[in-house]
Every structure is written in structure tokens, then in C-alpha cells.
Structure 1
Amino acid sequence: MRQPQLLVPKVVGHRGAAGHAPENTLAGFRIAKALGVSWVEFDVHLTADGRCVVLHDDLIDRTTDGQGAVGDMVLEEIASYDAGAWFDPRFAGETIPTLEEVIDLLADLGLGANVELKPTPGVEDDTAIATMELLRSAWPDHLPPPLVSSFDYRSLEVARDVAPEIARGLLLETVTDEWRGMVEAIEATTLHCGHTPLTPARAREIRAAGYPLFCYTVNHAGRAQELFGWGVSGVFTDVPDQVLPLV
């Protein structure tokens, strides 16, 4: 069943605070907290040895000094690469964290989280199962319950079956007329979409149906203000310090 009691704030730090720190790193989550957010969003991939790591891309090339597909590497190798210096030399030494490490840090910081499943093609089921089981066993009681989202519909189906009590959010780049059936089939709590294709009419339709609507990636205060005016429930932003003053 849907969980309307889930309370996600209006401003969520995207991949931590990706405009201020290397994305999906422990440093990024600390900076997001310092900037004033109460929730962050991050991505989960599965390694070759079945470990959940926090990384957006299928490849480690863009955000580390290494190369290759995360799904082809074991955790020990992935953890050996620098994931901070590409952003700024002062972040040298940051690594791709495990989901366990991130959960521990969120517990210390008091941050809620939207956990996005980003499965390597072919391991959608395994990624969802491993992530959901870890969230079930390791998520701290003192934090707000997590929200799990994905563009990958199969991953959300598996998430629903493995841990139905953990709220799900359907991610769509563009919301089409089929959105309602898709949301209902996976018993999603929220709908997430790109802000550029969204129209005021579509936003009103989603909100009138009782679903919280979240938009990514909104990095200008004026645009965030416009979306809030349409009834959008919240935004994911790389620069939460620019959007938080609105709320």
C-alpha cells in the first residue's frame, strides 16, 4: 500500500550537494548537512562481489581516477580509486563509499535519504534485493524512513516484493499519460520527474490524485519558486543553499 505519512522535505540535496562537493561522497553529504538540508539523494550500484556502493554512473571514469565498469569490479578495487580530486584538490582522498558507510554517516548527521537504484543492465533484481535488504537491516530507527526510487521499473517491482514497507518513488524523465497506471502497479508513494518537460497542468493532475511530486535537478531559485507555485512538493538540487531560502 502507499505510505502517505512519508514526509520528504521541499529541498533535497542532489547526490549530496553536487554543486559544492564531489557527488555521492561522504564529504558531499557532510557539506549538504552544513548547508542546511535535512535529506539527501544518492545512487546505488552493485559491485561484482555483490556489495552496494554509492555511485551514479555504470562506469567509474567520470568521478574517479580509475576506469571501468563498477559491475565488473570487486569492492576492494573500487575503493582504491580517488573519487574527490577530480572535483577539487581539497577533496583528494575521498573514495566511492559503500551503502553501509553512507548509512552510518547519515545516522551521525541526522539526515534522511532518497536512495536511487541505478542497476547495471542485467543485475536489476540483484541490485534491488541487496539494497532493500540492507536498508531493512541497517537503517537507523532515529532517522525518517528512507524513500527508494528508480527509473528502472523492474527494480521497483523487486523492491516492492522484497520490502513492501519501504516507500517507493517512480522516476520518469517526462510524465506521460501512462503515469497513473505505472505508479499504481508498483504501489509507489511518490512520483519524480525532470522539471524541464513538466507543465503546470500535469503537476496539478498528479497532485490532485494525491501523489507528492518531486522534480530534479533544479539549480535556480527562480525555477524552484515557479515549480512550488505549480504545487510541486519538492526539488532535488545540487545547490541547496540557493533554494533553501525559499522555504
Structure 2
Amino acid sequence: MIAGDRPGNWPYPRWIAHRGAGKLAPENTLAAFRLGAEHGYRMYECDAKLSADGVVFLLHDATLDRTTNGSGIAGEHDWATLSQLDAGRWHSHAFAGEALPTLAAVARHCQAHGHWLNIEIKPTPGTELATGRAVAQLAAQAWARDPERTPLLTSFQPDALRGAKETAPQLPRGLLLDTWWDGWLGVAHSLECVAIVCNHALWDAATVARAREAGLRTLAYTVNDEWAAQRLMDFGLDGIITDRVDLFPPGR
């Protein structure tokens, strides 16, 4: 099945835990995935980038400073260095010693528990194509025996999605948007995206209708208020990404 065929067969849960469990645990760590599961979530969003020696690991920021005890540009360090960092103490003492996970470890965790994943390709600037290719190659291999839970690959960077498409065209892709920039729909079609993932404030009845007419699924980030969630559910959005795993039961 090619990516363009997937909109008619959307397997993913509507509610998606942002970076594992939002803000209740250190983002993009296995501890966050475990805590999200405790709240009933079965799909998670995470951020993936490349180490200097080509290991795909989870981290949102370009630099290490905010969420680890390291410093500097994350993609300039090799995995041997990154793997020794503390990615939990910044959040709270209870998570001290939590490590940065590789995407391979996250894949094993999700498969062991029957969970789904939205992998945001978050390249270090200048590595967009390489990161897209590496993430797609790993994902294609890791989920080869679990096609029912194939991850959704998304990115704000068209070149990252282009790298993913070149490497594993069978994997579903989504274009992330924080504004409706000129030509977004043409780019989404050229990349054979199956979904558009927007800042929740961008969605209204007209934009939802336009995306659907184009054959695209609709997802929103980051939805942490009841009024915003209800508005999106009224529009019938396919995916809602939230930090508030404690507020929104995923079965609603």
C-alpha cells in the first residue's frame, strides 16, 4: 500500500499524547510513554533527530540545554556522549537519571504494548534530507512485522518529508503547519502526504473542508483546553495532540 492510499484506512486513535505524556513527565523519554499509557493513551507524538554518528534519538530542541544536563547542539554530539546524559532531572527529582531514548528503543516499547506513534522528524538545521531518510529507514525496518501500527511521519520541513518519501514511500506522511503559507497544499500533494497537522487555531469549518476535499486527514496540536478540544471534535478532526493526558480521557 502506498502512502496516498492510506486516508481511506485511518488506523490511528484520535487522542495523541504530546511528547509521551505532555508535561507530567520529562518529554520524549520512555518514562513519558509509560505515564501516558497509565492514563489510557495508546498513541504518542515524539521528536526524532540524528546524532553526529547517525543514531536516531528523541529530542525536541536543536540544543541539549533545556531538557538535559548537556549543552550545545545535540546533532553535533555522537551517541556515546548523548546516551550518558540525564534527560529527567530538569523536570523533577523523581525522574533523575532518565536517559534519552533511541527511536529503535521507542519502537520496541510501542510494539510490546500495541501502541501507535507519530514521529515528528525534527532535523538539526542543514540535515533535513539525511534525517528524513534515516528516520524512514529505521521506521520501515522496525515496523516491518507490525504493519497495522505503522507510524505516521510528520515534519514542518518539506525536505525531511522528501527524504522519508524517497527512502520508504510506503510509510504515511503528514505536513506540519504553523501558518497557511502559500503553496502548502501543492507541497503536501507532491510529497504524497496523507495528513495535515496544524496549530489548532488554524482549523475552522472552511479549512477542514478544504483539507478533506483534497483527500487529507486533519490533526491538531497542542490542545490543552476543553473549549479548544470540543471545537475540534465538533469539526470531526482525525487527531488531537495534547499535553493534558490527565484532563482528556482518550476514549472520549
Is 2:117 aligned against 1:113? yes
The whole-number CA distance in structure 1 between the counterparts of 2:228 and 2:221 is 11
Q: Which amino acid aligns with 2:12?
A: V
**Residue matched to 1:13:** 17
Residue 245 of structure 1 deviates from its aligned partner by 5.8
Q: Which amino acid aligns with 2:68?
A: T
Q: Which amino acid aligns with 2:127?
A: V
Gaps of 5+ in 2: none
The whole-number CA distance in structure 1 between the counterparts of 2:206 and 2:139 is 36
Residue 140 of structure 1 deviates from its aligned partner by 5.9
Q: Which amino acid aligns with 1:64?
A: T
Q: Which amino acid aligns with 2:95?
A: F
**Residue matched to 1:236:** 241
CA contact (8 A) 2:143 2:149 kept: no
Is 2:185 aligned against 1:180? yes
SS in 1 for 2:246: helix
Q: How does 1:32-47 map to 2 (within 5 A)?
A: 32-47=36-51
**How many residues of Structure 1 are paired with residues of Structure 2 in the alignment?**
247
Residue 152 of structure 1 deviates from its aligned partner by 0.5
Gaps of 5+ in 1: none
* Cα-Cα RMSD: 1.5
Residue 244 of structure 1 deviates from its aligned partner by 2.4
CA contact (8 A) 2:41 2:250 kept: no
Residue 221 of structure 1 deviates from its aligned partner by 2.3
Q: Which amino acid aligns with 1:175?
A: W
CA contact (8 A) 1:24 1:96 kept: yes
> Residues 112 and 245 of structure 1: is their aligned pair in 2 closer, same or farther, counting only changes over 3 Å?
closer
**Residue matched to 1:137:** 141
The whole-number CA distance in structure 1 between the counterparts of 2:216 and 2:191 is 13
| Percent identity (aligned) | 38
**Residue matched to 1:160:** 165
Residue 168 of structure 1 deviates from its aligned partner by 0.3
SS in 2 for 1:196: helix
Residue 246 of structure 1 deviates from its aligned partner by 6.8
**Residue matched to 1:52:** 56
CA displacement, residues 174-232 of structure 1 (integer Å, 9 cap, x when unaligned): 23463321211100011101012333321222123331100000011221111111232
CA contact (8 A) 1:114 1:148 kept: yes
The whole-number CA distance in structure 1 between the counterparts of 2:145 and 2:34 is 20
**Residue matched to 2:73:** 69
The whole-number CA distance in structure 2 between the counterparts of 1:241 and 1:141 is 32
> Residues 230 and 6 of structure 1: is their aligned pair in 2 closer, same or farther, counting only changes over 3 Å?
closer
The whole-number CA distance in structure 2 between the counterparts of 1:210 and 1:50 is 35
SS in 2 for 1:241: coil
**Residue matched to 1:196:** 201
Aligned residue among 226, 234, 238 for 1:221: 226
Q: Which amino acid aligns with 1:204?
A: A
CA displacement, residues 145-191 of structure 1 (integer Å, 9 cap, x when unaligned): 11100000001111111100000001011234633212111000111
The whole-number CA distance in structure 2 between the counterparts of 1:129 and 1:43 is 15
The whole-number CA distance in structure 2 between the counterparts of 1:17 and 1:70 is 22
Q: Which amino acid aligns with 1:144?
A: R
Residue 9 of structure 1 deviates from its aligned partner by 1.5
**Residue matched to 1:87:** 91
TM normalised by structure 2 equals: 0.93
TM normalised by structure 1 equals: 0.95
> Residues 49 and 195 of structure 1: is their aligned pair in 2 closer, same or farther, counting only changes over 3 Å?
same
The whole-number CA distance in structure 1 between the counterparts of 2:183 and 2:246 is 35
Q: Which amino acid aligns with 1:190?
A: A
**Residue matched to 1:23:** 27
